[in-house]
Structure formats: structure tokens, C-alpha cells
């Protein structure tokens, strides 16, 4: 089956195996409350209570901060007001006290450099003062900014040698938390990472700027509709669904490719893969369930609201999904989810693999990026409502997304480009590299009615009244799903499904926010001009109708509700003129186009230099990643596979010779031996060819990346074909590494 996510109906199927961790949590919490400050973990052991126990959140701050300080900090967090130094001092003191009470000895500014991982450098909260007392250097300034000697992070040329330092700046909108490992407790302070000249060296700073950009533009739309009363901000929300694989940790260590590259570079397909579809939403194996519960407990402690867990399509593949949150917090939490999966798995004899395509022949892993816009009063702006008036507003936001995705499909594609995601996108099992929008039949129907100006009021079943005869009705929840679309409207949010499972959510959301900010800006300007200084309901309606009609006409080509995996769609998309950037090498140059530079500059998300630095870092990362893979292949082929092939060959040769000595001569067995000799020869040859290809360097990174695409990757594929053929021939007791069968079907 070709569907990445199977053919289920999403939330409507609640098979017994789809656990709702929240109810598990509720039960656990009530047990915890009964037990006072400790709870039973089921095995009779008592463990600490966990729900957000390790988060310095609003509840804790309200308890521990003087009233006026708390109030002013909340103004910073919720209204974006600047933070005063004396407030930072008081907050730091309270935070330190809280952290020490909870066992913390050290603190760290926790940030997201361009590596795509998180980084931390620990300093102690208190040290002995040499006079029998203690000394603490953790005050307001240490909370607000830090200076990690982090000059080895990739900066894409932003930090020249004359100024290698970067500094971290507290992001008070994302709560500080404690991490615990083996008796060590560390206070983690989410921060942005910038250079002394203020250039963003991380993934968080541009994300925060993009959220500001979309806030400004969305507020203009709300003002036009008069729905801005009591609203101070429009925020973006994110609920990322994380797919991952679990493999036995012992087997993992026996595979140099998994250890170094997080994916298998060799491996013949087992007779049983995912054909039977018996894994998807199947009952969760006991060892895995114990692991998941452990992960959830740790995440709850750190305030990450994980809710859903289930088996995914491929054997050994699972998913974990939190409830959505404000995007920057969700991005921080998403990093914690990935780290926690990795950290906890070894305790259970497992290894968590987050790579987009660890195994050929079975589905890869994605990170479905559920995205929406909401007012700070909690109104989801992509949720069609009962009232006619707000549905016009809904259509404006919907069309803003359609327009943005069509205008900047190339940029969205580039935002998810990586060496690892290349193996997944367009591989006929995941969303194609062509960016299109799935709207569902009913919403598409409405969009078409907008275009023609003729409205029917005949849509059946749960349709919503838009009031005026001039506007169509909107179905409350069309309920249909399309798992083959890279960008799908799912009732009250968009799901960007092409995001890779190893990626930080920050960058794709930065791009998404910025392109939609631009659409809202353009639309708000048009509407503001049309209604003039004395807007009336009628004028607004007429202006909206004209504008939406025009947008639908210009951008409906990006809407596609059919099968995104089909050959037909590729041809159709080409006819429509939609970009089809097949891989990272084709996608990354988009970041250097004038269109992209102007866009990010205009909304103050990234300067030209900042954008260029990202383009540099992404290309470098691509080159390094594939080069490591190619070199690992060469080494495995030389030191593991070839020796095994020769041993097997010797064994067969001996058997043939022994048979001949005994006076029996089998042509078939002789043929077998010849075939083995040929395979071993080709293996040697293909290994040399790959080694030759990977040794090529080019001073121009883009050229080098192109060489990797046209020479290195094909050589890797050729070597793999021979090695995988050998795997099906060589005696299993001689094969030097665990096979797909072992990796996919043995658990814990
Ligand atoms: P499914 O896609 O499996 O049907 P849901 O629709 O309930 O499941 O939600 C999937 C994900 O979308 C969850 O992680 C959820 O938190 C997230 N989500 C739901 N509403 C929003 C929203 N308004 N903004 C962002 N993410 C959301
Ligand atoms: Mg989903």
C-alpha cells in the first residue's frame, strides 16, 4: 500500500490500541493526589509526582513573585512589552530558589543553533565561597543573557573571525524547566541565540519575528471585521505529530550505518514488510507501551502536553503527538519530545530512530505540522463558525493561506529540504515534492462558488449559513481526509505533512508564518482601501467578495484533492505550472532568490545576510550528511560485506571441490560459485567507484552538492543493489549484521 498514513479516518477511529494518554494521566494524577507527594508507578515503587512539576510556569510564578512583578512579567509575556532589568533580578531570584528546592545544581541557557538540535552549556547555580558559605552568580543579568563560547556552531559566515561570540537572550514567553538525568537536575532557560550585532544565529529568533509579523497583519483583518475587541494579539498555534521507529538497542549497535547515519545503508527486504497492514493502529507491544508511558511521564514533568500514541504504518514505527500550543512553545516542546524519546529508549533496551527513512521499502517518518491562527482570547481564526459575519472573515484567512502557498510553494518546499527528507518526499509513499493544498470537496465547492459569484444554498448536512445570499454556506466539518496531500485543510487547521521527522519545527513555521503574513498584508491593504475611512457592512462584503474572487481565480491551481502519489498528478501539476523541486539540491537555491530575500526582509524576519547564512548552513549539512553516509558504506562494504561474501564463496568452493573429489560434478553448483565470484567482484568494483565519487570536492558548495546528487548518490545505490543481492545469497550464519527482519520485528 502506498499511503503514508494508511487509509484511516483520523480521529474518528478510536481503536482500543489508540491510547489517550490524558486519561492515563488523569488516573495517575488522582493516584498521586491520594498518595500525597508521591505516587505508585504500578510496580509498587514510589515515584515523584510529575505533572508540570518541573516547569516554572505562570502558576508557580504567581505563587512566588510579588504581585506587581508578576503583573509586569505577564505584560512582557502576553503583550510583548519590554522587560525591565529590576524585574529580571526578582524573577531570577525566585527561579533560582524554586530550582534549588527541586534539586537543581546547575542552570543552562537552552537554545537552538542552526545545527537543528538544541544546545546547552551548564553553569552552577551556587558555588562554595571559600569561607564555608555559598556564592551565587545567578541574578537578573545571568537570566536575561548569557555568553556561551559557542563559536563552533555553524553560522553560515555570519560570525566572521573578528567577532566569534554569540550571546543568548532569555525568551520569557517559553517557560523555564528542569531536566533530570541520573541524579542531576538542571534548570533550562529557553533562549534565543544572536550575534553581538543582533543577527540571528538560531532557529528561534526568526520564528519569534515571524510570529510578530503575522500578528500585525492578522490584527488588521480583525479590525476590518470589527472582531478585534478585547484581542491584544493574534498567535499561531502548532501541534506537531512525531513519527519514529524503535529498534532493539543491541541490534542497533551491530549496525554501523544506524549508529553513524541513523538509517540503514544496506538491507534486503524481508518477505514481510507492511503489506498486511497489521501494525497500523494495532495493539502496542508491552515493552513499547512501557517505554511510551515512561516518555510521557518525563514529558508531563516538563509540561509537554503529549496526548496521543499509536502504532504507525511500518512495523516498528510509532507516533507521539501533543496537544497544540503557541508555536514557539510547541517548537521548544517538540525538541524536548525528540530528546526524550532518544534519552528514555535505552532504559528499555530500545533505540529511538527519528530519521525520515531508516529502512528502504517500508514507510518513512514525518512530522505533521498542524498549524492555525488564534486570537489571544482563544478564537481559532481557521474555524468556520455559526455566524455569517465571522464566516466571511474565515474565508479571508483561508484564502490568505491559499494565496501564500501558491505564491511561495517553492519556499515551503525549501523549508523542508534535507538529505534525509529526500528519501521520503516523492518516494511514492509520502507527500510528493509538489506543494499543493487539499481542501476537501465541500470547501472546494465553496471556493468555486466564490469564483463564479453564483451561490447555491443546497449543501447538505451540517452546512453553515453565511447569511447573505451573496456568500455560500460552509460545512462545519467536512470530515474527509487526504493522506497524500502535503498541505491539507483538516476542518479547523492546516496540516503541513511534508515536514521531516528529524527537523526542528521552527524553520518550516517561520516560513509558513512569513508567507501568510505577506498575504494578509496584501489583502488587508486592498480591503482597507476599498472600505475607506467609514467602513460599512455592505461595503466590506462587496470588497471581500471581489477580492476573494480574484484570489481564487489566480491561485486555485494550487488546490488539489486527488491522489498526490499518482503519476497523473505529476503531469497535471506540470500543466498547472506548479513547481516540482524534486530534492534538496533543487530546492535550496530558492533561498537565494530575490523573491525570498525581499519577503523575509520586508517582514523583518531575516536580513539578506541572515537568510544567506541559512542557505549556506543547509547546503553544508546536506553535503556532510551524504558524505558520511557514503564513507560509512565504503567501510561497511570493505570490512564487513566483502569478507562475508568471500567466506561464503570459500565455503561453496570447498563444497564444489569436495564433490568433484568424490567424483560428482554439479554444473549448477559450479554456476552458483561463479555467480558468487561475480557478485564479490562487482561489490569490490562498486565500492571503489563510490570511494572515487565521494573523494571529489568542490570549493563551491552548491556545485559540490550537485556532484553528490549526480555522482555520489547513484554510486551509493549501485553498491547497495549488489550488497543486498549478496545478502539474499550468503549463508545467514556468515552475514555480518542484523537484517531487516531482525531490526523490524524484534522488540526489546
Ligand atoms: P487527527 O489529525 O489524527 O485527526 P486531530 O485533528 O485531533 O487528530 O489533531 C491532530 C493534531 O493537530 C494534534 O496534535 C492537535 O494538537 C493538533 N491541532 C488541533 N487543533 C489545532 C490548532 N487549532 N492549531 C494547531 N494544531 C492543532
Ligand atoms: Mg494528523
Centre of ligand 2 to C-alpha 285, Å, is 22
Instruction: Give residue 279's pLDDT.
Output: 67
- pTM beyond cutoff 0.85: yes
Instruction: Give residue 28's pLDDT.
Output: 33
pLDDT tens digits along 133-190: 888 888 888 898 887 665 666 776 665 544 556 778 898 889 999 999 878 999 999 9
Ligand lying nearest the CA atom of residue 240: 1
Q: Which residue would you say has higher pLDDT here, 24 or 370? A: 370
Q: Which residue would you say has higher pLDDT here, 603 or 146? A: 603
Q: Which three cell numbers stand for residue 360?
A: 528502504
Instruction: Give residue 165's pLDDT.
Output: 65
Ligand lying nearest the CA atom of residue 492: 1
CA–CA gap between residue 187 and residue 100 (Å, rounded): 9
Closest ligand 1 atom, CA of 382? 23
746: pLDDT strictly greater than 50? yes
15: pLDDT strictly greater than 60? no
Q: Atom 19 in ligand 1: which residue has the minimum CA distance? A: 324
pLDDT tens digits along 473-527: 555 555 456 778 899 998 899 999 999 999 999 999 999 999 999 999 999 999 9
Residue carrying C-alpha cell 541520573: 182
Within a 10 A sphere around the Cβ of 532, how many other Cβ atoms?
10
Closest ligand 1 atom, CA of 321? 14
Instruction: Give residue 350's pLDDT.
Output: 95
DSSP 202: B
Centre of ligand 2 to C-alpha 319, Å, is 10
85: pLDDT strictly greater than 70? yes
Instruction: Give residue 386's pLDDT.
Output: 60
320 bridge partner residues: 242, 309
CA–CA gap between residue 728 and residue 416 (Å, rounded): 35
Q: Which residues line ligand 1 (CB under 6 A)?
A: 10-11, 237-239, 241, 321-324, 370-372, 380, 490, 492-493
Radius of gyration of the chain (CA): 28
Centre of ligand 1 to C-alpha 51, Å, is 22
Closest C-alpha to 213, from 519, 496, 499, 592: 519
Closest C-alpha to 109, from 332, 367, 270: 332
Per-residue pLDDT band for 654 (boundaries 50, 70, 90) equals very high
Top mutation candidate among 18, 239, 334 for ligand 1, by most atoms within 8 Å of CB:
239
Residue % of the chain over a pLDDT of 70: 84
CA–CA gap between residue 574 and residue 560 (Å, rounded): 13
Q: Which residue would you say has higher pLDDT here, 282 or 16? A: 282
pLDDT tens digits along 351-381: 999 999 999 988 899 999 999 999 999 999 9
Tell me if 413 sits within 8 A of 579, measured CB to CB: yes
Tell me if 95 sits within 8 A of 176, measured CB to CB: yes
7: pLDDT strictly greater than 70? no
Q: Atom 11 in ligand 1: which residue has the minimum CA distance? A: 239
Q: What is the mean pLDDT of residues 220-240?
A: 95
Per-residue pLDDT band for 468 (boundaries 50, 70, 90) equals very low
| Residue 164: C-alpha distances to residues 29, 115, 120 (Å) | 48, 17, 18
Instruction: Give residue 285's pLDDT.
Output: 82
Phi-psi region of 240 (alpha: psi -120 to 50; beta: other; left: phi over 0): beta
Q: Which residue would you say has higher pLDDT here, 53 or 465? A: 53
Ligand lying nearest the CA atom of residue 497: 2
Q: Which alpha helices (DSSP H) does 588-607 contain, by range?
A: 594-602
Q: For residues 534-555, b (16+ Cβ closer than 10 Å) or e, as one string?
A: ebeeeebbebbbebbbebbeeb
Closest C-alpha to 509, from 60, 203, 163: 203
CA–CA gap between residue 275 and residue 456 (Å, rounded): 44
Closest C-alpha to 510, from 240, 217, 212, 232: 212
Within a 10 A sphere around the Cβ of 560, how many other Cβ atoms?
26
Instruction: Give residue 269's pLDDT.
Output: 87
Instruction: Give residue 119's pLDDT.
Output: 83
Three-class secondary structure of residue 698 per DSSP = coil
Q: Which residue would you say has higher pLDDT here, 203 or 115? A: 203
545: pLDDT strictly greater than 50? yes
Instruction: Give residue 616's pLDDT.
Output: 94
pLDDT tens digits along 703-731: 999 999 999 999 999 999 999 999 999 99
Instruction: Give residue 480's pLDDT.
Output: 53
Q: Atom 8 in ligand 1: which residue has the minimum CA distance? A: 11
Q: Between helices 713-729 and 642-661, what is the axis angle to 10°?
A: 40
Instruction: Give residue 147's pLDDT.
Output: 73
Instruction: Give residue 50's pLDDT.
Output: 73
Q: Which residue would you say has higher pLDDT here, 329 or 315? A: 329
Give the DSSP per-residue string, 21-69: HHHHHHHHHHHHHHTTTEEE-SSS-EEE--TTTTEE-HHHHHHHS-HHH
Centre of ligand 1 to C-alpha 370, Å, is 6
Centre of ligand 2 to C-alpha 242, Å, is 10
Closest ligand 1 atom, CA of 371? 25
Instruction: Give residue 528's pLDDT.
Output: 96
Mean pLDDT of the chain, nearest integer: 85
Q: Which three cell numbers stand for residue 366?
A: 514525518
Instruction: Give residue 210's pLDDT.
Output: 97
Top mutation candidate among 324, 378, 482 for ligand 1, by most atoms within 8 Å of CB:
324
pLDDT tens digits along 408-462: 999 999 999 999 999 998 665 667 789 999 988 777 878 888 888 765 543 434 4
Centre of ligand 1 to C-alpha 524, Å, is 28
Instruction: Give residue 13's pLDDT.
Output: 25
Per-residue pLDDT band for 463 (boundaries 50, 70, 90) equals very low
Closest ligand 1 atom, CA of 370? 26
Top mutation candidate among 394, 493, 494, 512 for ligand 1, by most atoms within 8 Å of CB:
493
Amino acid at each position: 500500500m502506498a499511503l503514508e498514513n494508511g487509509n484511516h479516518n483520523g480521529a474518528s477511529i478510536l481503536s482500543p490500541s489508540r491510547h489517550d494518554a490524558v486519561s492515563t494521566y488523569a488516573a495517575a494524577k488522582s493516584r498521586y493526589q491520594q498518595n500525597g507527594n508521591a505516587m505508585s508507578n504500578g510496580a509498587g515503587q514510589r515515584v515523584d509526582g510529575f505533572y508540570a512539576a518541573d516547569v516554572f510556569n505562570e502558576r508557580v510564578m504567581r505563587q512566588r513573585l510579588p504581585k506587581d512583578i508578576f503583573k509586569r512579567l505577564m505584560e512582557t509575556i502576553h503583550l510583548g512589552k519590554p522587560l525591565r532589568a529590576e524585574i529580571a533580578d526578582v524573577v531570577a531570584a525566585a527561579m533560582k530558589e524554586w530550582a534549588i528546592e527541586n534539586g537543581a545544581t546547575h542552570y543552562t541557557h537552552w537554545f537552538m543553533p542552526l545545527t537543528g538540535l538544541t544546545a546547552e552549556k551548564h553553569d552552577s547555580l551556587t558555588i562554595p565561597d571559600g569561607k564555608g558559605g555559598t556564592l551565587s552568580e545567578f541574578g537578573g543579568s545571568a537570566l536575561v543573557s548569557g555568553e556561551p563560547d559557542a563559536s563552533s556552531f555553524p553560522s553560515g559566515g555570519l560570525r566572521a573571525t573578528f567577532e566569534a561570540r554569540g550571546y543568548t537572550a532569555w525568551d520569557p514567553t517559553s517557560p523555564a524547566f528542569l531536566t533530570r538525568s541520573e541524579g542531576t537536575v538542571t534548570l533550562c532557560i529557553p533562549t534565543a541565540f544572536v550575534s553581538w550585532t543582533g543577527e540571528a544565529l538560531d532557529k528561534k529568533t526568526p520564528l519569534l519575528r515571524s510570529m510578530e509579523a503575522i500578528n500585525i497583519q492578522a490584527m488588521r483583518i480583525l479590525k476590518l471585521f470589527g472582531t478585534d475587541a478585547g484581542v491584544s494579539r493574534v498567535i499561531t498555534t502548532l501541534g506537531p505529530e512525531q513519527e519514529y521507529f524503535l529498534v532493539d538497542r543491541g541490534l542497533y549497535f551491530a549496525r554501523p550505518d544506524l549508529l553513524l547515519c541513523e538509517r540503514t545503508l544496506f538491507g534486503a527486504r524481508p518477505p514481510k514488510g507492511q503489506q498486511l497492514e497489521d501494525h497500523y493502529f494495532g495493539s502496542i507491544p508491552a515493552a513499547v507501551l512501557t517505554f511510551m508511558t515512561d516518555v510521557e511521564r518525563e514529558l508531563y514533568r516538563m509540561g509537554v502536553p503529549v496526548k496521543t500514541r499509536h502504532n504507525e504504518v511500518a512495523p516498528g514505527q510509532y507516533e507521539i503527538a501533543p496537544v497544540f500550543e503557541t508555536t514557539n512553545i510547541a517548537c521548544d516542546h517538540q525538541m524536548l519530545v525528540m530528546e526524550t524519546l532518544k534519552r528514555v529508549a535505552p532504559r528499555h533496551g530500545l533505540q529511538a530512530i527519528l530519521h525520515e527513512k531508516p529502512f528502504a521499502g517500508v514507510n518513512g517518518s514525518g512530522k505533521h505540522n498542524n498549524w492555525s491562527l488564534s486570537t489571544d482570547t482563544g478564537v481559532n481564526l481557521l474555524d468556520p463558525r455559526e455566524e455569517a459575519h465571522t464566516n466571511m472573515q474565515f474565508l479571508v484567512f483561508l484564502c490568505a493561506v491559499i494565496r501564500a502557498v501558491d505564491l511561495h510553494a517553492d519556499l515551503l518546499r525549501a523549508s523542508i529540504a534535507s538529505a534525509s527528507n529526500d528519501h521520503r518526499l516523492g518516494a511514492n509513499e509520502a507527500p510528493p515534492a509538489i506543494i499543493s493544498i487539499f481542501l476537501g470537496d465541500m470547501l472546494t465547492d465553496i471556493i468555486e462558488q466564490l469564483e463564479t459569484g453564483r451561490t447555491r444554498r443546497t449543501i447538505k448536512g451540517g452546512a453553515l449559513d453565511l447569511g447573505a445570499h451573496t456568500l455560500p454556506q460552509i460545512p462545519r466539518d467536512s470530515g474527509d481526509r487526504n493522506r497524500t496531500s502535503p498541505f491539507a485543510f483538516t476542518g479547523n487547521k492546516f496540516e503541513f505533512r511534508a515536514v521531516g521527522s528529524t527537523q526542528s519545527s521552527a524553520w518550516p513555521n517561520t516560513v509558513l508564518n512569513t508567507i501568510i503574513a505577506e498575504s494578509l498584508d496584501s489583502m488587508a491593504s486592498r480591503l482597507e482601501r476599498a472600505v475607506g475611512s467609514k467602513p460599512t457592512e455592505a461595503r466590506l462584503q462587496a470588497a471581500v467578495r471581489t477580492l476573494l474572487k480574484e484570489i481564487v481565480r489566480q491561485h486555485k491551481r494550487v488546490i488539489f484533492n486527488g491522489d498526490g502519489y499518482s503519476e497523473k498528478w505529476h503531469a497535471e501539476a506540470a500543466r498547472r505550472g506548479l513547481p516540482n523541486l524534486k530534492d534538496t539540491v533543487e530546492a535550496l537555491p530558492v533561498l537565494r532568490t530575490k523573491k525570498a530575500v525581499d519577503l523575509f526582509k520586508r517582514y523583518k524576519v531575516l536580513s539578506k545576510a541572515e537568510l544567506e547564512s541559512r542557505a549556506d548552513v543547509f547546503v553544508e549539512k546536506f553535503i556532510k550528511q551524504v558524505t558520511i553516509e557514503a564513507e560509512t558504506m565504503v567501510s561497511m562494504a570493505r570490512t564487513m560485506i566483502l569478507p562475508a561474501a568471500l567466506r561464503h564463496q570459500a565455503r561453496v568452493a570447498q563444497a564444489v571441490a569436495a564433490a568433484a573429489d568424490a567424483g560428482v560434478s554439479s554444473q549448477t553448483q559450479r554456476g552458483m560459485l561463479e555467480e558468487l565470484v561475480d557478485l564479490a567482484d562487482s561489490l569490490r568494483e562498486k565500492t571503489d567507484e563510490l570511494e572515487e565519487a565521494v573523494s571529489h570536492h568542490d570549493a563551491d558548495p552548491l556545485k559540490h552538492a550537485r556532484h553528490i546528487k549526480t555522482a555520489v548518490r547513484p554510486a551509493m545505490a549501485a553498491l547497495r543493489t549488489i550488497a543486498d543481492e549478496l545478502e539474499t545469497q550468503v549463508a545467514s550464519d556468515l552475514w555480518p549484521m542484523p537484517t531487516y527482519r531482525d531490526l523490524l520485528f524484534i522488540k526489546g
